Amino acid sequence: MEFKRFYGCLFLMLLGLVSSSQGYKFYVGGKDGWVLNPSENYNHWAERMRFQVNDTLYFKYNKESNSVLVVNNHDYYSCNTKNPIQSLSDGDSIFHLNRSGPYYFISGNAADNCKKGQKVIIVVMAVRHHHRHAPPSPSPAAAPPLSPAPHPTLSPPEVSPTPLSTPAEPPKSGGSVGLASSVGSLLGFSVVASVVLGSLMGVF
């Protein structure tokens, strides 16, 4: 009983691996298939999908009146049906998406079908490898550039100003004293002059 469970689980795991490696099957144009006038524009439909490597595209159409051409981007935009990379014409065409990037498909019936909108661009997502990498160590924050140290400015030492000694003013004599001295010298002169005059008069 235990072996049956083990083998059952192993079978489911292998089935899951096989189905995941096969990818998903997309029906181009949905229920309408590969027709001239689908209910939804092909590129609008493709933009809503997520295509991955190993997915497949399924084109359903009337092989008597239509086909699918795989072309390059130049022929896609010019609707050139003369140089296809690959031609699908069996009415139930399956195309395997084996790489990432864009694929270009147009109708192979006539250039008119392509110009009227029967074409589609399928963009396959890039394969992501899930390798665990150590996160990069954060780089140390850049230190701000050092500005050169300013040169010291030498200034003369501050000396507290000493009050300059002002010359002593001569003592001011009072007005009365100066007047008395000048009167006295004037009187002394007049006395001397009168004595000299008197002696001179006595001689003559």
Location of structure tokens 């096969």: 22
Look at phi and psi of residue 33 and say left if phi exceeds 0, alpha if psi is from -120 to 50, else beta: left
For 35-75, how does the pLDDT look when each residue is reduced to its tens digit (9 = 90+)? 998 999 999 999 999 999 999 999 999 998 899 999 999 99
For 102-150, how does the pLDDT look when each residue is reduced to its tens digit (9 = 90+)? 999 999 987 789 999 999 999 999 877 655 545 555 555 555 555 555 5
- CATH numeric code, 23-124: 2.60.40.420
User: Hey, where are the domains in the chain?
Assistant: 23-124
Our measurement of the distance from residue 118's CA atom to the centroid of its chain's CA atoms, rounded to an integer in Å, reads: 42
Beta strands in the chain (DSSP E): 25-27, 56-60, 68-71, 86-88, 92-96, 101-107, 119-124
Instruction: For residues 198 and 141, give the distance between their C-alpha atoms in angstroms, rounded to a whole number.
Output: 120
Position with higher pLDDT, 6 vs 91: 91
